[in-house]
């Protein structure tokens, strides 16, 4: 692989790591929000909802801007905004202002997936795109794992906001590096806004987006409640919960790399082989939610959550790889925004529902809810794979 490949992948992955550190600080800090503002589990879920709602509101507009003007400048502005947002969350003096700051932080993260996906598909040659996407998606789980260790680890040594402030400072530094070093292969041509009407007529894409709602509900609720669940139900310390959340992200990174490699190297039609990988990941995730609900010791929980991370957090790279077999390269920014909007819509609805069930019935019912949703996603994916992609030249090329 040539230097230009690794230059693009390295810069985009660095951007993604830094952005995810800022965004996922909120998930790692849920026990501190509960203590600081006297929140119920439902109230904690609303913080996650505010974060992901901001993300959802801006995904389609940002996807359109990226397709129209290119990803380079958008990613720089987005990362600066993420740094500012993380600092505002750390400084929020009241619960309403915390919700507002979380909403703003989520809004700036809307630049992440559409921008970085477009960078990969514009600059990386056919046959190497899935692995490149998998490496880039490791930036999400790596950033989340780092944020878990930063927030929970520094809280005992300093104060709970320390991890947020470090995340904010690193984002500004990386934004400068990215602005100086990144050169887009896709900018400079005739730009158009994405045709969302055409995407809405793409049947397998629509089914994939519907499945994404349940996949996103599983992913974001898992990361949002891991630390709190381990502290309250298993008896682990907050620092111990942070370590387990970091393990979830680590195994999610391994899952993304494995999914990307398999997507590039297994035989068969791209939409069939990549769709089959995603189906297996969803089914395994549904089973592991049931296993997590039955764990009773910190060691068993650590093992179960690590396996859950491999499949549930490891499926997003394959999700976008499969999407790229259903749409053209020119549609990839808008299609990614639509697909990510579905993931985030699940994360807006699921955390409060999970928290409400945990408050009123118990955590076991909450994990079973995620298991049922993930199993439903697998069923939708089976249907999607049976449909013929409607494009002659998909973004994913052999």
Confidence (pLDDT) at 212:
92
Question: 3-183+197-386: which CATH architecture?
Answer: Up-down Bundle (1.20)
> What band does 288 get if pLDDT is binned at 50, 70 and 90?
very high
Instruction: Give buried/exposed letters for 72-109 (b at 16+ CB in 10 A, else e).
Output: bbbbbebbbbbbbbbbbbbebeebeebbbbbbbbbbbb
Q: Which tens digits make up the pLDDT trace of 362-394?
A: 889 999 999 999 999 999 999 998 888 776 666
The radius of gyration of the chain from alpha carbons, rounded to an integer in Å, stands at 19
Q: Are 314 and 258 in contact (CB under 8 A)?
A: yes
Q: Across the strands, what pairs with 328? A: 394
Q: Are 60 and 196 in contact (CB under 8 A)?
A: yes
Residues 90-145: tens digit of each pLDDT: 888 889 999 999 999 999 998 887 788 778 777 666 666 667 777 787 787 788 77
**In the chain, where the domains are located:** 3-183+197-386
pLDDT in the model for residue 327: 81
Q: pTM above the 0.75 mark?
A: no
Cβ density class 222-248: b for 16+ within 10 Å, e for less? bbbbbbbbbbbbbebebebbbbbbbbb
């Amino acid at each position: 692989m040539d230097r230009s490949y690794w230059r693009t992948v390295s810069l985009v992955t660095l951007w993604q790591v830094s952005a995810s550190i800022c965004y996922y600080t909120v998930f790692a800090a849920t026990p501190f929000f509960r203590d600081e503002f006297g929140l119920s589990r439902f109230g904690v879920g609303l913080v996650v909802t505010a974060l992901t709602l901001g993300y959802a509101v801006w995904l389609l507009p940002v996807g359109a801007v990226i397709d129209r003007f290119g990803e380079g400048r958008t990613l720089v502005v987005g990362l600066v905004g993420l740094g500012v947002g993380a600092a505002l969350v750390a400084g929020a003096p009241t619960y309403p202002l915390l919700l507002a700051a979380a909403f703003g932080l989520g809004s700036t993260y809307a630049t992440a997936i559409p921008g970085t996906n477009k960078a990969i598909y514009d600059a990386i040659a056919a046959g190497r795109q899935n692995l490149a996407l998998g490496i880039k998606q490791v930036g999400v789980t790596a950033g989340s794992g780092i944020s878990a260790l930063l927030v929970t680890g520094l809280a005992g040594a300093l104060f709970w906001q320390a991890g947020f402030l470090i995340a904010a400072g690193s984002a500004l530094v990386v934004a400068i590096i990215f602005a100086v070093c990144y050169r887009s292969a896709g900018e400079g041509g005739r730009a158009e806004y994405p045709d969302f009407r055409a995407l809405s007529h793409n049947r397998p894409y629509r089914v994939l987006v519907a499945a994404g709602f349940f996949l996103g509900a599983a992913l974001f609720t898992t990361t949002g409640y891991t630390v709190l669940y381990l502290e309250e139900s298993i008896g682990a310390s907050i620092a111990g919960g942070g370590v387990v959340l970091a393990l979830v992200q680590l195994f999610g990174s391994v899952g993304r790399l494995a999914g990307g490699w398999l997507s590039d190297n297994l035989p068969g039609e791209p939409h069939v082989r990549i769709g089959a990988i995603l189906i297996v990941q969803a089914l395994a995730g549904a089973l592991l939610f049931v296993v997590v609900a039955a764990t009773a010791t910190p060691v068993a929980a650590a093992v179960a959550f690590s396996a859950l991370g491999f499949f549930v957090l490891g499926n997003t790279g394959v999700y976008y790889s499969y999407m790229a077999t259903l749409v053209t390269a020119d549609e990839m920014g808008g299609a990614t925004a639509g697909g990510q909007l579905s993931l985030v819509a699940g994360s807006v609805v699921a955390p409060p529902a999970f928290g409400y069930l945990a408050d009123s019935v118990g955590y076991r019912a909450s994990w079973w809810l995620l298991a049922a949703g993930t199993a439903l996603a697998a069923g939708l994916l089976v249907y999607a794979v049976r449909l013929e992609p409607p494009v002659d030249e998909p973004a994913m090329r052999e």
